[in-house]
């Protein structure tokens, strides 16, 4: 089964951006791990990252059309993008929301809400890069 792992703005800077919060794993390393983890549990994983909201909406719309499961870290869009909310609402296959840090434990008040969560079968937050593995396992479990 194909699964999309979609990452939003600034996640392409993993490993360099605030490593005390997001760790030292780069996005390329994360992508490699997701492909490996998926392979171990029978998933064909494709990892994408964009800083452009319309591109993310297009990817989510295509996932809806193809009934492709999605692991989504919408990053900053999580907290305010109604375009992402509407695109997630169209998904037919499971959506798992993932965050490297736990937004609800962060001091910035704006991080304490999510427009993705209402459409997700699970929210995995605060487990670092391992959260992606947990999200893929949830997708595999739900498909199984």
Cβ(99)–Cβ(132) below 8 Å? no
- For the question of residue 119 being annotated catalytic, the response is no
The reply, when asked if residue 73 is annotated as ligand binding, is yes
Which residues are within 8 A (CB) of 116 and not within 5 positions of it... i.e. 6 or more apart?
72, 74, 78, 84, 85, 88, 95, 97, 123
| Spatial distance between the Cα atoms of 35 and 53, rounded to a whole number of angstroms | 24
The reply, when asked if residue 10 is annotated as ligand binding, is no
Torsion angles phi and psi, residue 118, rounded to 5: -60, -20
- For the question of residue 82 being annotated catalytic, the response is no
The reply, when asked if residue 27 is annotated as ligand binding, is no
The reply, when asked if residue 111 is annotated as ligand binding, is yes
Q: Which of 85, 99, 119, 132 is catalytic?
A: 99
Beta bridge partners of 48: 6
Q: Which of 22, 85, 119, 132 is catalytic?
A: 22
Residue ranges of the annotated binding site for substrate are 73, 79, 86, 100-101, 111
Residue ranges of the annotated binding site are 73, 79, 86, 100-101, 111
Question: Which active-site residues does the annotation give?
Answer: 22, 99
């Amino acid at each position: 089964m194909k699964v999309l792992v979609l990452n939003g703005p600034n996640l392409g800077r993993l490993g360099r951006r605030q490593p005390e919060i997001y760790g030292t794993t780069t996005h390329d390393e994360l992508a490699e791990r997701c492909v490996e983890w998926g392979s171990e549990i029978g998933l064909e994983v494709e990892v994408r990252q964009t800083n452009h909201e319309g591109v993310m909406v297009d990817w989510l719309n295509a996932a809806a059309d193809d009934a492709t499961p999605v692991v989504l870290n919408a990053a900053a869009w999580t907290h305010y993008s109604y375009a992402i909310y509407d695109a997630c609402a169209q998904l037919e296959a499971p959506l798992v929301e993932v965050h490297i840090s736990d937004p609800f434990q962060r001091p910035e008040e704006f991080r304490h809400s999510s427009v993705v969560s209402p459409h997700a079968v699970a929210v995995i937050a605060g487990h670092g890069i391992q959260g992606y593995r947990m999200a893929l396992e949830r997708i595999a479990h739900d498909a199984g």
